[in-house]
Chain A
Amino acid sequence: MSPFTLEAGLGVLLLVVFVAGLAARGSDRRWIGWLVLAGVAGLEALAFALSPVEPAPGAIFVQDGLALFAKRLFLAATLVGVLCGLAPAAGPFARRAAEYHLLLLSSLLGMLVLASARDVILLFVAFELMSIPLYVLAGFAKRDGTAVEAALKFFLVGSVSSAVMAYGLSFVYGAARTTALAGVARAASSGDPLLILGLLAALTGFGFKIAAFPFHMWVPDTYEAASTPFVAWLSVAPKAAGFVAIFRVYFEGTGAGAFWGPIVAALAAVTIVAGNLMALPQENAKRLLAYSGIAHIGYMLVGVAAASASGTAMVLFYLVAYVFGNMGAFLVVEAVARAEGSEHLGAFRGLAQRSPLLALAMLLFLLSLGGIPFVAGFWAKLYVFWAAASAGLYWLVLLGAILTVVALFYYLVVARRMYIDAPVHSGRIRLDPALTIAVLLCVLGVVALGLWPKPLVMAALRVAAPLY
């Protein structure tokens, strides 16, 4: 099989959606969403049917284990994201469904190429193909002043970080005299200061995209103002892509245990502390999840700082657990917000009495995010800490463990609202079928990984091993 199969398939789907958008009539074009859903589900099935291809020497586009693992994850996240974006009948999302899904799929195409890129130019182009549609999607409700303002903020921070990253990559090219990551790895062993400068500047760019601490400022505003189905996807898929790009450039490109290890460890520490502490006073559910998401990025960076095959594998496992837990939590926020018209935490009061199953699903997601045993997040945190400990980063493990307790506090505040506080309104919260399926998929992921993490851990270890 050609390594481009998935990308070609997605390209065809993009064309089909484009033509469907041209042919569509009327103000309710949500059927295009179903078309996209079928296409993405087909691509996901194809991704599981494919097997890794041994890369040709000097290939700039590889379909190795890591690429395939990442692509399955991106497609799964997009599947859930498209499912929960199907429902809103009113407003721009029904009328401009073709545009919305075209942008979503373009960004997905960028992610798929990014996962396979082993050349600096291809990596940068794919990174931008992923990023630019996100700015448009954040401001998709273009009559809504706050959404457009959040989109502009997101755009400005994002494009400044891209510029810094491109500046860094230009030095990488200058020092290595080649754009192939294999050549960069050879040059890195000589310790050229120009190359180190370039890689550090590029790390700043990646830090912005995954929203590590000093570069996180766009996250809460964008999450609060943009539409929730999009935010659920934004909070997981591009972050996962950012981590895969980091693995490509900093592990495959420069070899493990290089100069940047302590820098990533410090970045992880401040991200965990800042994310968790800033989440504490939040009263808006989406802002709370935004800051808790920043903290999770910090935990994943702990695994990156370990700079080992097991560390990388555990970050991949963490990403999968985070995709299901975090998207699930956003989906419940969306369900509650549709019924109550509010994303404030107060809207969750007495949810357990009104819709016990929805409250149970939210509780599972929160426990997974908090890292309680027998849901996915517990194993994710445990494995990442274990990898960091075996790399000798005991201080980082201790810090992370302490702040996990802090994190439990704000997750349990939401649980208390749902289970102990009396409801303000009565009556069940109605979920439409698409959203129900999306929530169920996330519950299934969180519980299955919590009870039976071994197959995924083994798969992650298998794909991470060749990087070292």
Chain B
Amino acid sequence: MGGVGEERRSLPPTSNDPVGLNAYLILAALVFSVGLAGVLTRRNAIGILLGIELMLNAVNINLAAFSRFGGDLTGVVFALFTIAITVAEMGVGLALVIAIFRARRTVEADRLDLLKG
């Protein structure tokens, strides 16, 4: 995780890559926006969870692209951690959705208007 510059393994050169770094960043920004739009407009809790998942995947695209074009592996390690955290977070989220379904018999977020502010 950083700190030891000399020992870092560098990746093969990317000068002949037909699409540049910006293309990946724009793709990530699009995925992030789609996810955010989903979070803000979905009425179903599962739909909101999917939106959050998309936002976190945009982070991974960013990290992988920066890692590839910057030529060091730290970003890939960061992405691995992000994936693990996403899984833990979604596990808790789905458990809460199941709990609320048992208590209320619905997962429609009809009273979840707090993200509209």
Contact = CB atoms under 8 A, between A and B. Distances in A.
Contacts of A173: 63, 66, 74-75, 78
B59 A174 contact: no
A177 interface: yes
B74 A128 contact: no
Interface of A: 58-60, 119-122, 124-125, 128, 132, 135-136, 139, 142-145, 148-149, 151-153, 155-157, 159-160, 162-164, 166-167, 169-171, 173-174, 177-180, 183, 214, 217-218, 221
Contacts of B99: 139, 142, 148, 151
B92 A132 contact: yes
A155 B93 contact: yes
Contact of B114 (A144, A153, A163, A178): A153
A217 B117 contact: yes
Contacts of A166: 56, 59, 82
B55 A145 contact: no
A32 B18 CA distance: 61
Interface of B: 1-4, 32, 35-36, 39, 45, 48, 52, 55-56, 58-59, 62-63, 65-66, 70, 72, 74-75, 77-78, 81-82, 85, 88-89, 92-93, 95-97, 99-100, 102-104, 109, 111-112, 114-115, 117
Nearest to B53: A163
Given A159-B89, A163-B52, A221-B114, A177 B72 contact: yes
The A contact surface, by secondary structure, is: helix
A177 B8 CA distance: 12
Contact of A157 (B4, B82, B97, B115): B115
Contacts of A179: 1-2, 74, 78
A156 B95 CA distance: 13
Contacts of A120: 78
A153 B75 contact: no
B85 A128 contact: yes
